[in-house]
C-alpha cells in the first residue's frame, strides 16, 4: 500500500476516533490497520467480548449477598 | 515540489480524430465546456490529454479482451505517414509558472516525452502517481461506472475523485458490522439463554417478566421476581440467595413426588482440566531417573548395616581400652603395643565408614518426603476425579432407574437410554481407575516399607512407575467418557426438569430459579449484546463520516463555477 494512502487512512482513523465517544468503539477503530483491517478489528472485538465473558465480575461477587 | 494547477492549452496533431494541425485549444482557468456534433473530436481531446499524461488511454488499458485489437488506433489514419503525431499541453503550475508537456507517438505506439523541449524518459511525478486515480471518464467507460451494483459504483466514483480509501474504510466497517461472527464461547454463552427465553415466553402468567427480560430492565425484573416469589414462599425475603434456597425447596418438595434425584454430569471445566493436567504432570515427573538412582543408592545402606554395628562394638571396646590400656577389652588377654595400635586403627576405619552412611540416611529422609508429597498429590487428584461422577452413578440402582424410566416415558426413551449408557460407560472406566489407584497405593506402601526396613530393590521403584503410568492412562479414559456423555446428560437433565415441572406444576418456579441463578450471567449477556449493537451502530457513524468527507471533496476540490460567475461561452 502506498504511503500516501496510509497517511490518509491514519488521518481518517484519527478523525473517526474524535467522532466516537464509546471506549469500546474507540478500541475497535484503534485496531483498524493494514494489511487486513477487518481481521484486525474482528480480533479486537473478539478480545473485548471474551474479556467481558471471562471477567471475574466484582459486582457479581457482591451480588451474592446483595439484596434484590 | 511544484504541482500542476490547470491546463492552459492543448495542441493535437495526427492523434485519434485530429488530422492536420489545429489552433491550440485554450482552456478557461475554472471550467471549459466543449460541445460539438458526433465524431467532431470531443472524445479525442480527452484521449489526447490522457495519453500525454499517462502514455496510454483507459480505453485501451481497461480493454478486457485482446489489446492488440487497438494497435495503431492512436494514429489518425489520414495523417501523412512522414509526419509524427503529437500532443502538446501548456500547464500552469501552482506558483503561476508555465510548463510545456509534449508527447510524440512513436512507430511502436509508445510515447516520446518532452518537457519544455527537453527529451525525457518520464514525467517527474509519474512513479509517485502510478496508482493515483486518473480523472478521465470516456464515453465507453460510462456504462462501467453506471451500470453496475451500487457498491461497485460507489467504489468507482470514489476512485475517480481520488478518495478510494474512504470507500474502503466504509466497506471495512460495513463488513465488521454485518459479517462478524463472535467467538464460539460467546455464541454458546448467548445461545445458552434460548431455552430460558422460550420458557418465559410460553408461560402466560409471566408476561410481565417476559417484557422486562426482553427490555433488559433487570432492576425491575428482579424486583418483580421478588414480589412474585414472596407470595409463593409466603414470606418476604430481600436476599437473592435466601429466595433461591426457598424456591428450590418449594420446587424440590413438589417434584420429589415424581422423582427425587438429580441428573447431573458436568464436563470438566477449563480450570479442572488444568488441575488434572498439573496433577498428571506431577505424577509423570515424580519418578525421574535421578529419583530412581537416589532410591537405588539406598540399597548400599542395607549392605553396610553390619559396619555400623561393628563400629558400635569397637567404640565400646575403645572406651574400655582407655581404662585398661594393656588388656583386651573383649577377652581380658594382655595386649602388645602393636595389637593396641591395630585395634585403634581398625576402629577409626570403621568410624569413617559409618560417617559415610550418614549421608545415605539423610538421602533416605529426603526420598521419604518426596514419596509423601507424591502420595498426597496422587490421593487428592484421584479424589477430585472420582467425585465428578458420583451424582450420576448414585442413580445406578434398579429402583431409581425404574423410576427414571417411568418419568421419561416412551416419548423420551432415548434420553433414558443415554443416561443408562453413560452410567455403564463411566462406571466401567471408574472401576479401572479405582483398580489402578489401588495398585499404585500398594506400590507406594511397598516403597515406604522398603525405606523403613532397608529393603530397597529396583523392582519396587519399577512397579511404582508402571502403576502410575497405568493410572494416568486410566485417568485419560475416564475423563474422555465423562466428556463424551456430558452433553447428552445435560440435555436429558433439561428434558427431565421440564417433564417434572409439567407434572408437578412448577414451571414458573423453575423459571424464577433459573433467572435468579443466572442473574449475574444476565448482566453479562446484556453487556455483550450492548457491545454488538453498538458495533452495528458504528457503521452508520462511519457512513455519515465518509459521506461528509466525500461531499467536502466534491464541494471544495472539484468546484464547478456557474456561468454567471465568469465562465465564457
pLDDT tens readout for residues B131-149:
666 777 777 667 777 777 7
pLDDT band at B32 (very low <50, low <70, confident <90, very high): confident
- Residue B377: pLDDT above 70? yes
Among candidates B128, B186, B538 on the partner chain, residue whose Cβ is nearest the Cβ of A50: B186
Residues 6+ apart with CB under 8 A from B398: none
- Taking the CA of residue B253 and the nearest CA in chain A, the distance in Å comes to 25
Mean pLDDT of A3-16: 87
Residues of A in contact with B185 (CB under 8 A): 50, 53
- Candidate from B152-161, B172-181, B497-506, B509-518 with smallest mean pLDDT: B152-161
- Taking the CA of residue A53 and the nearest CA in chain B, the distance in Å comes to 7
- Residue B239: pLDDT above 60? yes
- Candidate from B22-36, B101-115, B390-404, B426-440 with smallest mean pLDDT: B22-36
Residues of B in contact with A57 (CB under 8 A): 520, 523-524
Residue A45: per-residue pLDDT: 97
Strands B118-120 and B25-26: unpaired
Query: Among residues 38-57 of chain A, which lie with CB inside 8 Å of chain B?
Result: 38, 41-42, 45-46, 48-50, 52-53, 57
Among candidates A8, A12, A64 on the partner chain, residue whose Cβ is nearest the Cβ of B241: A64
Mean pLDDT of chain B: 85
CA distance B112 to B1: 24
Q: Tell me, yes or no, if B241 comes closer than 8 A to chain A by beta carbon.
A: yes
- Residue B467: pLDDT above 90? yes
Residue B73: per-residue pLDDT: 85
pLDDT band at B433 (very low <50, low <70, confident <90, very high): very high
Q: Tell me, yes or no, if A10 comes closer than 8 A to chain B by beta carbon.
A: no
- Candidate from A11-20, B400-409, B451-460, B494-503 with smallest mean pLDDT: B451-460
Long-range residue pairs from B297-300, CB within 8 A, at least 24 positions apart, any chain:
B297/B360, B297/B363, B298/B360, B298/B363, B298/B364, B298/B367, B298/B451, B298/B454, B298/B456, B299/B456, B299/B457, B300/B360
Question: What percentage of chain B has pLDDT greater than the value 90?
Answer: 46
**Nearest residue of chain A to residue B162 (CA atoms):** A5
CA distance B335 to B337: 7
Do the Cβ atoms of B527 and A52 come within 8 Å?
A: yes
Which secondary structure element, helix H or strand E, spans residue B520, and what is its range? helix B519-552
Do the Cβ atoms of A53 and B185 come within 8 Å?
A: yes
What is the reported pTM? Answer: 0.61
pLDDT per residue as tens digits for the range B93-107: 888 999 999 999 998
Residues 6+ apart with CB under 8 A from B32: none
Residue in B266, B291, B456, B258 with CA at minimum distance from that of residue B366: B291
Q: Tell me, yes or no, if B243 comes closer than 8 A to chain A by beta carbon.
A: yes
Task: Identify from B132, B269, B528, B531 which residue to disrupt to test chain A contact, counting A C-beta atoms within 10 A and taking the largest count.
Answer: B531
Q: Tell me, yes or no, if B523 comes closer than 8 A to chain A by beta carbon.
A: yes
CB B496 within 8 A of CB B408: yes
Do the Cβ atoms of A46 and B176 come within 8 Å?
A: no
Q: Tell me, yes or no, if A58 comes closer than 8 A to chain B by beta carbon.
A: no
Specify which residues B119 forms β-bridges with. B114
pLDDT per residue as tens digits for the range B146-189: 777 777 777 777 777 777 888 889 999 999 999 999 999 999 99
pLDDT per residue as tens digits for the range A13-62: 999 999 999 999 999 999 999 889 999 999 999 999 999 998 865 444 44
Question: What percentage of chain B has pLDDT greater than the value 70?
Answer: 91
- Residue B401: pLDDT above 70? yes
Concatenate the DSSP letters of all residues of B156-176 into one string: HHHHHTT-HHHHHHHHHHHHH
Looking up cell 509423601, which residue turns up? B372
pLDDT per residue as tens digits for the range B536-565: 999 999 999 998 988 887 776 554 444 344
pLDDT band at B305 (very low <50, low <70, confident <90, very high): low
- Candidate from B23-27, B113-117, B285-289 with smallest mean pLDDT: B285-289
Go through A29-46 and write b for each residue having 16 or more CB atoms within 10 A of its CB, e for each that does not. Answer: bebbeeeebbebbbebbb
Residues of B in contact with A45 (CB under 8 A): 176, 180, 182, 531, 535
Residue B303: per-residue pLDDT: 61
Choose between A55 and B301: higher pLDDT.
A55
Residue in B1, B158, B108, B132 with CA at minimum distance from that of residue B54: B132
What is the interface pTM, i.e. ipTM, of the complex?
0.88
Mean pLDDT of B370-374: 91
Q: Tell me, yes or no, if B411 comes closer than 8 A to chain A by beta carbon.
A: no
Amino acid at each position: 500500500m502506498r504511503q500516501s494512502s496510509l497517511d490518509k487512512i491514519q488521518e481518517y482513523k484519527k478523525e473517526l476516533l474524535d467522532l466516537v465517544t464509546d471506549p469500546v468503539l474507540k478500541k475497535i477503530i484503534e485496531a483498524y490497520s493494514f494489511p487486513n483491517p477487518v481481521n484486525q478489528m474482528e480480533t479486537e472485538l473478539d478480545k473485548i467480548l471474551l474479556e467481558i465473558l471471562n471477567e471475574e465480575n466484582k459486582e457479581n461477587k457482591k451480588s451474592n449477598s446483595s439484596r434484590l | 515540489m511544484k504541482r500542476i494547477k490547470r491546463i492552459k492549452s492543448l495542441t493535437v496533431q495526427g492523434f485519434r480524430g485530429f488530422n492536420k494541425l489545429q489552433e491550440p485549444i485554450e482552456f478557461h482557468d475554472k471550467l471549459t465546456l466543449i460541445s460539438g456534433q458526433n465524431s467532431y473530436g470531443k472524445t479525442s481531446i480527452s484521449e489526447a490529454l490522457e495519453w500525454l499524461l499517462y502514455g496510454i488511454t483507459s480505453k485501451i488499458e481497461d480493454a478486457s479482451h485482446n489489446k492488440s485489437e487497438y494497435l495503431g488506433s492512436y494514429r489518425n489514419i489520414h495523417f501523412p505517414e512522414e509526419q509524427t503525431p503529437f500532443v502538446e499541453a501548456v500547464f500552469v503550475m501552482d506558483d503561476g509558472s508555465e510548463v510545456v508537456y509534449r508527447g510524440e507517438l512513436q512507430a511502436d505506439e509508445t510515447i516520446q516525452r518532452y518537457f519544455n523541449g527537453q527529451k525525457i524518459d518520464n514525467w517527474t511525478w509519474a512513479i509517485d502517481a502510478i496508482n493515483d486515480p486518473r480523472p478521465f471518464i470516456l464515453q465507453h467507460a460510462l456504462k462501467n461506472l453506471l451500470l453496475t451494483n451500487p457498491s461497485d459504483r460507489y467504489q468507482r466514483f470514489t476512485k475517480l475523485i481520488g478518495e478510494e480509501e474512504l470507500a474502503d474504510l466504509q466497506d471495512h466497517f460495513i463488513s465488521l458490522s454485518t459479517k462478524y461472527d463472535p467467538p464460539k464461547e460467546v455464541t454458546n454463552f448467548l445461545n445458552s439463554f434460548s431455552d430460558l427465553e422460550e420458557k418465559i415466553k410460553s408461560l402466560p402468567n409471566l408476561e410481565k417478566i417476559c417484557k422486562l427480560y426482553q427490555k433488559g430492565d433487570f432492576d425491575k425484573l428482579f424486583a418483580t421476581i421478588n414480589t412474585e416469589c414472596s407470595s409463593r414462599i409466603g414470606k418476604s425475603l430481600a436476599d437473592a440467595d435466601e429466595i433461591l434456597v426457598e424456591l428450590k425447596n418449594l420446587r424440590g418438595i413438589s417434584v420429589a413426588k415424581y422423582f427425587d434425584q438429580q441428573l447431573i454430569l458436568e464436563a470438566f471445566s477449563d480450570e479442572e482440566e488444568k488441575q488434572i493436567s498439573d496433577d498428571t504432570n506431577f505424577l509423570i515427573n515424580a519418578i525421574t531417573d535421578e529419583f530412581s538412582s537416589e532410591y537405588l543408592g539406598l540399597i548400599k545402606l542395607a549392605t553396610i548395616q553390619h559396619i555400623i554395628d561393628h563400629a558400635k562394638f569397637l567404640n565400646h571396646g575403645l572406651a574400655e581400652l582407655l581404662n585398661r590400656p594393656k588388656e583386651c577389652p573383649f577377652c581380658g588377654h594382655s595386649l602388645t603395643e602393636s595389637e593396641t595400635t591395630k585395634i585403634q586403627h581398625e576402629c577409626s576405619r570403621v568410624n569413617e565408614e559409618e560417617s559415610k552412611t550418614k549421608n545415605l540416611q539423610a538421602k533416605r529422609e529426603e526420598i521419604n518426603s518426596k514419596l509423601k508429597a507424591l502420595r498426597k498429590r496422587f490421593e487428592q487428584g484421584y479424589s477430585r476425579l472420582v467425585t465428578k461422577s458420583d451424582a450420576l452413578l448414585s442413580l445406578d440402582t434398579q429402583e431409581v432407574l425404574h423410576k427414571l424410566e417411568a418419568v421419561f416415558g416412551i416419548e423420551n426413551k432415548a434420553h433414558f437410554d443415554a443416561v443408562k449408557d453413560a452410567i455403564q460407560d463411566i462406571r466401567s472406566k471408574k472401576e479401572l481407575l479405582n483398580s489402578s489407584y489401588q495398585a499404585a497405593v500398594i506400590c507406594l506402601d511397598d516403597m515406604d516399607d522398603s525405606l523403613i526396613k532397608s529393603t530397597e530393590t529396583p523392582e519396587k521403584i519399577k512397579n511404582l512407575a508402571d502403576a502410575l503410568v497405568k493410572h494416568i492412562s486410566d485417568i485419560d479414559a475416564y475423563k474422555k467418557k465423562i466428556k463424551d456423555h456430558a452433553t447428552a446428560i445435560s440435555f436429558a437433565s433439561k428434558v427431565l426438569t421440564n417433564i417434572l415441572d409439567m407434572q408437578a406444576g412448577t414451571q414458573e418456579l423453575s423459571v424464577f430459579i433459573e433467572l435468579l441463578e443466572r442473574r449475574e450471567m444476565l448482566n453479562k449477556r446484556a453487556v455483550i449484546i450492548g457491545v454488538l449493537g453498538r458495533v452495528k451502530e458504528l457503521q452508520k457513524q462511519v457512513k455519515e463520516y465518509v459521506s461528509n468527507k466525500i461531499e467536502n471533496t466534491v464541494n471544495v476540490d472539484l468546484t464547478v463555477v456557474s456561468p454567471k460567475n465568469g465562465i465564457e461561452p
